[in-house]
Amino acid sequence: MHKHYNGLKTAALFGVLWAVLLGLGALVGTSTRSSAPIWIMALLGVATTAYGYWNSDKIAIRAMAAYPVTEPQAPQLYQMVRELSVRANQPMPRIYLSPTMSPNAFATGRNPRNAAVCVTEGMLQLLDARELRGVLGHELMHVYNRDILTSSVAAAVAGVITSVGQMLLFFGGGDRRNSNPLAMLAMALLAPFAASLIQLAISRTREYDADEDGSQLTGDPLALASALAKIERGVTIAPLPQDQRLVNASHLMIANPFRGGAMTKLFATHPPMRDRISRLERMAGRPLR
């Protein structure tokens, strides 16, 4: 479904992440005269991320206090998800509702056969049927594009970079004959910051992908654009509390569920809503209104 360059952009961002990691690895090797520490950190990062990847659906659903619903309980929701799944030639995911009035939705699961779609009760009350279908198309494409794997790998590499940066600070420059202590200190401080920004950029790129591919799946970009505009207003009125479990799951949601200022936007997991709506309008060939 991809007819854009976001996939290439994601690959380039991953390349930068790995370059930062390898550069830090070389510095750690110089500082400690051993490559063992970076391998230990890498293994810990991979193990932690693997657990999160295999249990991503349970973690996110638990964070949102969501409960499973059957087809008799939510017939319209089931009908839409089934129709879109059949259109994409993919299995039917499990469906959950979250008992919050903050309008949002997310899809999770390591692959289409182990996927779950969750919408909040506030979302169901806010959107009409056409808009809800647009949101579901977006969320299903996150699963079909394997975005959980993408975000998990990015989190793993960024986490290892942060750990190695902390290690450099601990060793404080190591062998001063072979290294510049000030340069090592700068790398130790700046590399984790850069890794976080790159990880967030990957997340924002995948949102653009899901917007475009989801709109191709539904054939209705303006429905998703209208839904995003309503969701942004709804989240402003009823944001989620910044509980750590919700913060950890927020990158999965269709919109940033928290209220925040300029600094928060710098570290946002989602691109600006205005940009997303403008892209969808260009796909449709006309403005939303």
Which residues does the annotation mark as catalytic? Answer: 139
Q: Is residue 233 a contact partner of residue 21, using CB atoms and an 8 Å limit?
A: no
- The packing angle between helices 221-237 and 129-144, to 10°, is 100
In the chain, the amino acid numbered 198 is I
Cα–Cα distance between 51 and 39 in angstroms, integer? 18
Residues in the chain: 289
With b meaning 16 or more CB within 10 Å and e meaning fewer, what string describes 182-219?
A: eebeebbeebbebbeebbbbbbbbbbbbbbbbbbbbbe
**In the numeric block, which tokens belong to residue 67?**
């409960």
CB within 8 Å of 3: residues ≥ 6 apart: 212
CB within 8 Å of 34: residues ≥ 6 apart: none
Q: Is residue 118 a contact partner of residue 107, using CB atoms and an 8 Å limit?
A: yes
Cα–Cα distance between 45 and 18 in angstroms, integer? 14
Question: Parallel, antiparallel, or unpaired for β 67-68 and 105-108?
Answer: unpaired
**In the numeric block, which tokens belong to residue 111?**
């692959």
